[in-house]
Structure 1
Amino acid sequence: MNKGVLKTRVLTPLGGAVAACLSGCKLDVLDPKGSIGLAEKSLIGTATFTMLIVVVPVILMTLWFVWHYRASNHRAKYAPKWAHSTAIEVVIWTVPSIIILCLGVLTWRTTHELDPYRPIESTVKPINVEVVALDWKWLFIYPDLGIASINQLAFPVGTPVHFMITSDSVMNSFFIPQLGSQIYAMAGMQTQLHLVADEAGDYAGVSANFSGKGFSDMKFRALATSPEQFDAWVKAVKASSDRLDMNEYNTVAQPGEKAPVRYFSSIDPRLFRNIVAKYNNGHVLDLQNSNCSTKG
């Protein structure tokens, strides 16, 4: 059989398989829909490009050295006693030093600009959401609205969302890739996050830290809607017959995989605080300030 025909017959199915696999891939982190996500995408791109200034030349020079100084190339200069070159030393120390300096300045600036505790500047009043990581589901409490939901989060487009995050189990990580900022959730501690969606959409939310056998299905949907649609969602939640007091919460908090979306029309107003405080003898520990406030 002709080698070219054989090669084509082998590569065509392989190429088709690769194309089929890649067609289902979607890097949500690189398709941001909010200002925080856009800033993080820019940071990733800038940092990657800066590092490639060193990586690409090194790869190319390695390939060129291997080719040029191969045993069969008798034109390559053989210098067994060569030991030093000032020009080379200047290049290999100056260029990486400049890149490290640039990355250091970039990291310093973006660390403060993208501080998850830093509120998003907006004329729109933010929505407060308390997030509790459970085994293996997410509980979202809207303290100002007196409602809660499991594995579904909703908020209006263009409205900053202020998250207070904790865990009532092992350490976990709260992450909405298209909106940005993966934040760890730890039992007995509360942390914060500010996000905003600039476009309406149904965004994937995930657990970004392995937390047991149900980890792979610990997912939720983040619904960025118009104000009118958000109001309709709130009405749908308030129409639920379920109430989330401490007794019901103890049932909800039991481990369970692939938990369905569930609404609670009323909540215990001290629920989130009680979840955090029960690990600290009645105190709430804030991760940013590392101080405790006494439970009243």
Structure 2
Amino acid sequence: MSTKKLGRQVFFWSMAIWASVLLSGCGSEYLVLHPKGPVAETQYNLIKISVILCALIVVPVLALTAFIVWRYRDTPDNKAPYKPNWTHNTTLEVVWWGIPVVIVALLGYFTVRDTYALTEPPNKETKPITIQVTSLDWKWLFTYPEQNIATVNYVPIPAGVPVQFELTSDAPMNSFWVPQLAGQTYSMPGMAMGLWLQADEPGEYYGSGANFTGEGFAHMQFKVIAKPQAEFDEWVKQAKNTSPAMTKADYEKLSKPGLSERLTFSSFPAGLFEEIVKKNGHGHEHMNHYKNNLKSETGAANQHDTSGMTHTNHH
């Protein structure tokens, strides 16, 4: 194959790859690359660091691959040296082992640092609120233990205020994900998981289930609606005054497989979230440790009544 023909093929495939990458983004927005809160911002920065560190390996390897293919091509006019008995070069060994080891160590450092940082409130100067999340087939139930209200498939929050989400499932395991505000966290039967989240500014943010759970999986979407504190307080007041109360029968009906529109309830049965955790596993052995960790992070004054709850798992 002539050098000119090889050059044309390399150019063609390069353009094809670039076209595929660029066209794949047409008409859509990569939400995870547009963070709107401190938690998502930290994760976005970790993504950038990871891409840069990985590129330090991937780009030279691809360049060297292309060079080697061209330099040692099997053509009559190729004058590349032929060394069939060559076996070792100390300098090269240090380069191709040393550089990856350093890069992996750096990547591990940044990952551990940010992972542990995200287990704490993103803003320790502001009192957080707690929202309990239960994934169902195929809908999301949000209960507000401090306000004693509940919603389905949408979750208003005050902008600029840290939110401690507590997650469980009364259905198959799912994954709670709001790309612009935080990374995904599993909701699992018999466990209470924790996720900090904060929206820096008012707006509506897309959320979804990111774990396949059957027929209605594609419809497990919700909106996180960040409001100024005054508007959030007014919404709570309106929900208390105009919405029906949730009974145990209402919850049993809601928990059955099926889709649901947005719903609002002025109250919900006391201890509902804790009962859901306990009935699906060893909830009484899982929750107090989680609550003690949360208490040490946010202070006793910010805790709601969670009597009878013991240990959790963190992912």
Partner residue, 2:184: 182
Note if contact 1:173-1:208 (Cα within 8 Å) is conserved in structure 2: yes
Runs of 4 or more off by more than 6 Å in structure 1?
A: 15-20
1:145-294 paired onto structure 2 within 5 Å: 145-257=147-259, 259-280=260-281, 283=284, 285-286=286-287, 294=308
Gap change, CA 1:82 and 1:105, over 3 Å in 2: same
Gap change, CA 1:268 and 1:284, over 3 Å in 2: farther
Gap change, CA 1:16 and 1:85, over 3 Å in 2: closer
Gap change, CA 1:194 and 1:240, over 3 Å in 2: same
Per-residue CA deviation, residues 146-170 of structure 1 (Å, 9 max, x unaligned), is 1100001011110111111110011
Partners of 2:184 and 2:137 lie apart in 1 by: 18
Partners of 1:95 and 1:136 lie apart in 2 by: 47
Pairing partner for 2:78 from 74, 79, 86 = 74
Letter in 2 for 1:146: N
Letter in 1 for 2:56: I
Pairing partner for 1:63 from 63, 66, 81 = 66
1:10-25 paired onto structure 2 within 5 Å: 22-25=25-28
**In angstroms, what is the RMSD of aligned CA positions?**
2.4
Partner residue, 2:94: 90
Unaligned runs of 5+ in 2: 1-17, 293-306, 310-315
TM-score norm. by structure 1 comes to 0.87
Letter in 1 for 2:268: I
Letter in 1 for 2:26: S
Partner residue, 1:26: 29
Deviates more, 1:176-185 or 1:240-249: 240-249
Gap change, CA 1:272 and 1:92, over 3 Å in 2: same
Percent identical across equivalent pairs? 40
Partners of 1:250 and 1:176 lie apart in 2 by: 27
Q: Which secondary structure does the structure 2 equivalent of 1:22 belong to? A: coil
Note if contact 1:124-1:160 (Cα within 8 Å) is conserved in structure 2: yes
Note if contact 1:132-1:166 (Cα within 8 Å) is conserved in structure 2: yes
Letter in 1 for 2:111: T
Letter in 1 for 2:78: H
Q: Which secondary structure does the structure 2 equivalent of 1:263 belong to? A: strand
TM-score norm. by structure 2 comes to 0.82
Note if contact 2:38-2:122 (Cα within 8 Å) is conserved in structure 1: no
Note if contact 2:247-2:268 (Cα within 8 Å) is conserved in structure 1: yes
Pairing partner for 1:127 from 126, 129, 153 = 129
Gap change, CA 1:19 and 1:281, over 3 Å in 2: closer
TM-fit CA distance, 1:241: 3.8
Partners of 1:172 and 1:65 lie apart in 2 by: 46
Q: Which secondary structure does the structure 2 equivalent of 1:205 belong to? A: strand
Structure with the bigger percentage of strand: 1
Q: Which secondary structure does the structure 1 equivalent of 2:87 belong to? A: coil
TM-fit CA distance, 1:23: 2.6
Pairing partner for 1:43 from 29, 43, 46 = 46
Per-residue CA deviation, residues 128-148 of structure 1 (Å, 9 max, x unaligned), is 111100000000001111110
Unaligned runs of 5+ in 1: 1-14
TM-fit CA distance, 1:240: 3.5
Note if contact 1:191-1:288 (Cα within 8 Å) is conserved in structure 2: no
Note if contact 2:160-2:200 (Cα within 8 Å) is conserved in structure 1: yes
Q: Which secondary structure does the structure 2 equivalent of 1:57 belong to? A: helix
TM-fit CA distance, 1:187: 0.8
Q: Which secondary structure does the structure 2 equivalent of 1:267 belong to? A: coil
Letter in 2 for 1:52: A
1:114 paired with 2:118, answer yes
Per-residue CA deviation, residues 173-223 of structure 1 (Å, 9 max, x unaligned), is 111110012110111111111111112110001101111111111000000
